[in-house]
Chains A and B, each alone.
Chain A
Amino acid sequence: MTTAPPAADRSPGPSEWQSAFDAAVAAEERIEPRDWMPDAYRATLVRQIAQHAHSEIIGMQPEANWITRAPSLRRKAILIAKVQDEAGHGLYLYSAAETLGVSRDELLDKLHAGTQRYSSIFNYPTLTWADVGAIGWLVDGAAITNQVPLCRCSYGPYARAMVRICKEESFHQRQGYELLLALSRGTEAQRAMAQDAVDRWWWPSLMMFGPPDDRSAHSAQSMAWKIKRHSNDELRQRFVDICVPQAASLGLTLPDPDLRWNEERGRHDFGAIDWEEFSQVLKGNGPCNEQRISQRRRAHEEGAWVREAASAHAAKRRARETAPTGRLPGSTTGRPADRTAAPKGAPAS
């Protein structure tokens, strides 16, 4: 979309802007931050992108759990890199949300206060090393199934963030699969560990696609806005169809006696999901809700003095730069270009 009405006239949106917006969405054009958009569209995106960003950073916890116990140096390197990627995904997504006029700080406050959600899957514990593999294979796998269509989301910054993220998620999924394969081909104890992990993570992974279509509160409007492209049930079905042959090549079973190929539909039938468990976990009664959110809060609170120091220091540098006799900052150390998200000035937090 290329036409932006004057900023002062953004809201309330006169009907011609609404029609221009509708036409752009219909024509598969991307809505960009400076374009006019309905308030409800903006609010929906903020809610969804924030929830997604929160999921990335809460999702670091169950896996980071195993970094210090990883059983080989190769696996340790892969795991550190993976958890680091998830932090990076959090950064891209908070930035995408910021294009809609909210700050990362505000969003984090809402996460910490429990008024914004993260994916309920991360409220399950990682009890063995095999859980790291099951998360990669199933949880990153489900995330990809959910997120690939988001690469065509009508909101430009979100769609672009998803393109980058999906590439990395597919590495994670393959690494998880490969980890489970090594266990499945390993000793009796390793095999049992892998099967146990898949047994515990399968059903929660199916819940990641959200409530069934007839109970999904936001789906219809999001589909109309082309934020969402496929229904929850359709995505869940795709995921099941992808996983069944992969489980077979892993030599592991999926814990569903009703799972079978349906010739007529050309898809797999599968058993009923325990939506009561899902709603309990969403309400905060999952095995790790309290633990995950309090670790997040603790990291944030214990880091407050560090972030304050960074801002205070940045302010001092700025003051020195503008002062006539100020010393040039950075004059005593040779500094190579910063890599990745290494701090540059005060961390935006």
Chain B
Amino acid sequence: MTPADTARSTDAATAPRLTGEGAAAALMLGDDALILSHRLAEWTGHAPALEEDVALANISLDLLGQARTLFSFVGDEDELAYLREERAFRNIQLVEQPNGDFAQTIARQLCFSLAQELRWTAILDSADCPTPIRELAAKAVKETAYHRDHATEWTLRLGDGTEESHARMRRGMAVMWRHTGELFAPVPGLPLDDAALREQWLTALRAVLAEATLDLPEGPDADAWAAGGGREGVHTEPFGFLLAEMQHLHRSHPGATW
């Protein structure tokens, strides 16, 4: 990776600006990407094999790149990441869930990357979505296809691997499942057929799980409680700790440049 690859993904000064619903959409998708990237980066140095240290870091970097581009449509990327309070973050609760064991991480990846791939594809196909977001979608859809592939492969290995890995993968899906309810909550500024996307998502997910000798967990609607507040800035308890760690150094030196 060259330094140029990691420089500001879009020159902030020349980046197209979005306002109103377009900006809200960029923030929602950007927060999803930023927070999931952060969680995946936590694996670095702790992964079950060196190949996975590399692969998870790779996915984390793709997502961080997407977040930075989306933030550039709204304002200063560091102000957005480091200076907002918890209630101002618009990511869904799924992406902030702790990594758990490798199976839980893979379950979260499977649910999210399948959904994200469908959404990026739909954005790319919809002339009604904001142009800058559609331009990003062209690149993001390819990255997300790899993330989905990675999650799929591991779901198959774990689900149809050993007795222990099967049990862990089933548990991983159960843990993450209740947080999938808001994956297809309508995003203002992105006029997509969210109900249809959700159906496609369920079909795809069911197919992967079936091949992995697993069943779809009970639907979120069937539970007494299901996630749903992320887009309004209501998060789960672990999120505050994530932000405390992520923002501490930046906030300790107000106005400093790094």
Contact B7 A74 (CB under 8 A): yes
Stretch from B21-29, B162-170, B177-185, B225-233 that touches the partner:
B162-170
Contact B149 A73 (CB under 8 A): no
Q: Is B207 an interface residue (CB 8 A)?
A: yes
Interface residues of A in 65-92 (CB under 8 A from B): 67-78, 80-81, 83-85, 87-88, 90-91
Contacts of A338 in B (CB 8 A): 149
Number of interface residues of B (CB under 8 A): 68
Contact A69 B249 (CB under 8 A): yes
Q: Is A299 an interface residue (CB 8 A)?
A: yes
Quick one: given A68-B41, A190-B253, are A295 and B55 in contact (CB under 8 Å)?
no
Q: Is A126 an interface residue (CB 8 A)?
A: no
Interface residues of A in 178-203 (CB under 8 A from B): 178-179, 182-183, 186-187, 189-190
Interface residues of B in 208-231 (CB under 8 A from A): 208, 211
Measured in the bound complex, the distance between the Cα atoms of B102 and A340 in whole Å is: 20
Interface residues of B in 59-115 (CB under 8 A from A): 60-61, 64-65, 67-68, 71, 77-78, 81-82, 101-102
Contacts of A75 in B (CB 8 A): 258
Contacts of A312 in B (CB 8 A): 161-162, 165
Quick one: given A71-B253, A72-B258, A305-B168, are A175 and B64 in contact (CB under 8 Å)?
no
Quick one: given A72-B250, A343-B150, are A77 and B64 in contact (CB under 8 Å)?
yes
Contacts of A90 in B (CB 8 A): 50
Q: Is B118 an interface residue (CB 8 A)?
A: no
Contacts of A333 in B (CB 8 A): 149, 152, 207-208, 211
Query: What DSSP secondary structure best describes chain B's contact surface?
Result: helix
Contact B51 A295 (CB under 8 A): no
Nearest Cβ on chain B to A168's Cβ, whole angstroms: 8
Interface residues of B in 97-156 (CB under 8 A from A): 101-102, 142, 145-146, 149-150, 152-154, 156
Quick one: given A64-B44, A182-B258, A333-B208, are A78 and B49 in contact (CB under 8 Å)?
no
Q: Is B194 an interface residue (CB 8 A)?
A: no
Nearest Cβ on chain B to A112's Cβ, whole angstroms: 14
Contact of A68 (CB < 8 Å), options: B51, B53, B54, B245: B245
Quick one: given A299-B48, A333-B152, A347-B49, are A340 and B256 in contact (CB under 8 Å)?
no
1/0 contact string of A296-315 vs chain B (CB within 8 Å)? 00110011111111101110
Quick one: given A91-B50, A309-B164, are A187 and B256 in contact (CB under 8 Å)?
yes
Q: Is B14 an interface residue (CB 8 A)?
A: no
Contacts of B81 in A (CB 8 A): 73
Nearest Cβ on chain A to B166's Cβ, whole angstroms: 8
Nearest Cβ on chain B to A316's Cβ, whole angstroms: 6
Q: Is A171 an interface residue (CB 8 A)?
A: yes
Q: Is A335 an interface residue (CB 8 A)?
A: yes
Nearest Cβ on chain A to B109's Cβ, whole angstroms: 12
| Chain A residue at minimal CB-CB distance from B254 | A187
Contact B258 A77 (CB under 8 A): no
| Chain A residue at minimal CB-CB distance from B246 | A68
Contacts of A83 in B (CB 8 A): 44-45, 57
Contacts of A314 in B (CB 8 A): 157
Contact A303 B47 (CB under 8 A): yes
Contact B7 A306 (CB under 8 A): no
Quick one: given A73-B64, A76-B64, A310-B157, are A87 and B57 in contact (CB under 8 Å)?
yes
Nearest Cβ on chain A to B250's Cβ, whole angstroms: 4
Q: Is A61 an interface residue (CB 8 A)?
A: yes
Contact A182 B257 (CB under 8 A): yes
Nearest Cβ on chain B to A309's Cβ, whole angstroms: 3
Contact A303 B146 (CB under 8 A): no
Contact B57 A84 (CB under 8 A): yes
Contact A87 B207 (CB under 8 A): no
| Chain A residue at minimal CB-CB distance from B5 | A81
Contact of A343 (CB < 8 Å), options: B51, B77, B250: B51
Contact of A308 (CB < 8 Å), options: B1, B2, B67, B161: B161
Measured in the bound complex, the distance between the Cα atoms of B162 and A81 in whole Å is: 33
| Chain A residue at minimal CB-CB distance from B65 | A77
Measured in the bound complex, the distance between the Cα atoms of B135 and A124 in whole Å is: 45
Measured in the bound complex, the distance between the Cα atoms of B255 and A81 in whole Å is: 26
Contact A332 B208 (CB under 8 A): yes
Contact B68 A73 (CB under 8 A): yes
21 A–B contact pairs at CB < 8 A? A68-B246, A73-B64, A73-B68, A73-B78, A73-B81, A74-B7, A76-B41, A84-B61, A87-B50, A91-B51, A182-B258, A304-B48, A308-B162, A309-B165, A335-B152, A341-B54, A342-B51, A342-B146, A342-B149, A343-B55, A343-B157
A residues near B (Cβ < 8 Å) are: 57, 60-61, 64, 67-78, 80-81, 83-85, 87-88, 90-91, 94, 129, 168, 171, 174-175, 178-179, 182-183, 186-187, 189-190, 295, 298-299, 302-310, 312-314, 316, 332-333, 335-336, 338-343, 346-349
18 new A-B contacts, CB < 8 A, other than A312-B162, A333-B149, are A60-B44, A61-B45, A69-B248, A69-B249, A72-B250, A74-B7, A84-B61, A85-B1, A88-B54, A91-B54, A171-B3, A306-B49, A306-B165, A309-B161, A333-B152, A342-B58, A343-B51, A347-B51
B residues near A (Cβ < 8 Å) are: 1-3, 5-8, 34, 38, 41-42, 44-55, 57-58, 60-61, 64-65, 67-68, 71, 77-78, 81-82, 101-102, 142, 145-146, 149-150, 152-154, 156-158, 160-162, 164-165, 168, 207-208, 211, 245-246, 248-250, 253, 255-258
